[in-house]
Amino acid sequence: MIRLVAKELRLSLRHAADTAAALLFFVIAGTMFPFALGPDPATLSAIAPGIIWVCALLAALLPLDRLFGADFEDGTLDLLLLSGLPAAGVAFAKAAAHWLTTGLPLLVIAGPLAIMLRMPAKHLPLLALTLLPGTLLLSLLGTLAAAITLGARRSAVLMPLITLPLMIPTLIFGTAAVTSPHPVAPLLMLAAMLAAAAPLCPLATGAALRLAAE
Amino acid sequence: MQLLTASKLAAFRGERLIFADIDFDLDAGGAILLRGANGAGKSSLLRTIAGLTPLAAGRLLWNGEDALEDLPTHARRIAWLGHQDAVKPALTAAEHVPDRAALAAFGLAAYADLPARLLSAGQKRRLALARVAATAAPLWLLDEPTNGLDTASIALAEAAFARHVASGGMIIASTHTPLSLPAARILQL
């Protein structure tokens, strides 16, 4: 499994432009808001957590389309399923690779973007703390949606339509934790959702991969 | 008792019954060539044996036990060559197949550090074959292994197949071109 993650990381390093595209999209989408809403610090700092969360979710969706798509088209998916790993293990490795190449960089770059949006600096650690389970959940649910839509004609359109509604609870608790005076309860809720998704999503993703490979 | 026994295999593709009542058995050092017209179900039969496509009926036994019950274990017995090469253009040949001896056996030693996108179609096929040869799996499942290969490369592939069979391995290959495999039986679909 570690070898599979390493191979995925090497591939995304070779396709660095694709990997960077999601990050650039995140920065640019976040930058649009001050232009649209005006530079008033009070307005911006009030909506900064929401902007960052939504932009991060949308940016993390971008690479999901090719996550299994390329492997499906060039026959690698068959080899992955015949690698001796259970299908859920393949799914877990793919989700981990997606998080390492998309979620983690987004998490790092969210800090500077938040400062640009006039978010008070004391909220930054909390923002990172909520984005950590948030991006992990998106990687898990996103790989699931990517596997379900594999081979469908309009998979690039279908995939966000499946992923984003599933992310709404995460979004609610994530943004609530950043702005609420009592962040522990929403944080625990995020952790609970992550604890449920971490074993269940790879199982479902693995089953969807087997169906797609049939 | 034979190592791999198939009895009355059948599989669907979509709604269509693509083959039914396929029987064969294979022992260490044996080989089977699948023959049949396009669309006869050669690839589907290989996918069924690999456990990628579920069986609609019949049984596949490994050492007398149901082979497809534990798919990850079954997968470790198999080296798979699909009709696509599963070669990533951005990775080098050596990153696909770290085993230099296997690369050399298919005439790819000089290309080890080249990204696969610079390889020709036939060289990519040889790279995929080298990946099969680099595994320790006893059962090679090969879908049209010599597709796109020139005569010299076909000879390299046949030599690798013969070595595998001689060392007690098993090969099931689909082909519609003549492929010389010692002691291979023909299974007509």
Cα three-residue angle A209-B80-B134, rounded to 5 degrees:
125
CA distance B78 to chain A (A): 7
Tell me whether residue B167 is in a domain.
yes
Tell me whether residue B128 is in a domain.
no
CB count in 10 Å sphere of residue A195: 11
Tell me whether residue B121 is in a domain.
no
Distance CA(A117)–CA(A34), nearest Å, equals: 7
Residue-level pLDDT at B2 = 72
Cβ contact (<8 Å) for A15 and B87? no
Which residue in B50, B85, B90 is closest to A15 by CB distance?
B90
Distance CA(A197)–CA(B87), nearest Å, equals: 32
Mean of all residue pLDDT scores within chain A: 92
Helices A104-116 and A16-37: angle between axes, nearest 10 degrees = 20
Q: For position B50, which CATH number holds?
A: 3.40.50.300
Distance CA(A59)–CA(A96), nearest Å, equals: 17
Residue-level pLDDT at B176 = 81
Q: Compute φ and ψ for B55, nearest 5 degrees.
A: -75, 135
pLDDT in tens, A137-179: 999 999 999 999 998 888 888 999 999 999 999 999 999 998 8
CB A116 within 8 A of CB A144: no
In the beta sheet, which residues pair with residue B4? B26, B62
Judged by DSSP in three states, B148 sits in coil
Distance CA(B110)–CA(B4), nearest Å, equals: 38
Which residue in B52, B82, B90 is closest to A214 by CB distance?
B52
Tell me whether residue B37 is in a domain.
yes
CB count in 10 Å sphere of residue A213: 20
Q: Compute φ and ψ for B184, nearest 5 degrees.
A: -80, 140
Residue-level pLDDT at A79 = 94
Q: Which letter does DSSP use for residue A214 in this model?
A: -
ipTM of the complex in this document: 0.91
Residue-level pLDDT at A156 = 83
Which residue in B75, B84, B95 is closest to A82 by CB distance?
B75
Percent helix, percent strand, percent coil in chain A, to nearest 5: 85, 0, 15
A126 by Cβ neighbours in 10 Å (0-12 / 13-18 / 19+) ranks as middle
Tell me whether residue B79 is in a domain.
yes
* Interface residue ranges in chain A relative to chain B, Cβ cutoff 8 Å: 7, 10-11, 14-15, 73-76, 78-79, 81-87, 213-214
Which residues on B lie below 8 Å from A202 (Cβ)?
none
Which tokens is A15 given? Answer: 């396709």
Provide, rounded to the nearest whole percent, the portion of chain B with pLDDT above 70.
99
CA distance A88 to chain B (A): 11
Number of compact structural domains in chain B: 1
Provide, rounded to the nearest whole percent, the portion of chain B with pLDDT above 90.
72
Which residue in A11, A76, A214 is closest to B86 by CB distance?
A76
- Cβ neighbours of residue B78 under 8 Å, at least 6 residues apart? A82, B50, B137, B139, B140, B141
Residue-level pLDDT at B178 = 81
Residue-level pLDDT at B1 = 55
Cβ contact (<8 Å) for B80 and A79? yes
Provide, rounded to the nearest whole percent, the portion of chain A with pLDDT above 90.
69
**CA distances for B132 relative to A28, A157, B73, B154, angstroms:** 45, 36, 17, 15
pLDDT in tens, B151-187: 999 999 999 999 999 999 999 999 888 888 877 888 8
Which tokens is B63 given? Answer: 């050492």
Which residues on A lie below 8 Å from B76 (Cβ)?
84
Of A80, A169, A156, A166, whose CA–CA distance to A130 is shortest?
A: A169
Q: Which letter does DSSP use for residue A102 in this model?
A: I
Positions of chain B with pLDDT lower than 70, given as ranges? 1
Domain housing B16: 4-83+138-188
Which residues on B lie below 8 Å from A83 (Cβ)?
75
A19 has a pLDDT exceeding 60: yes
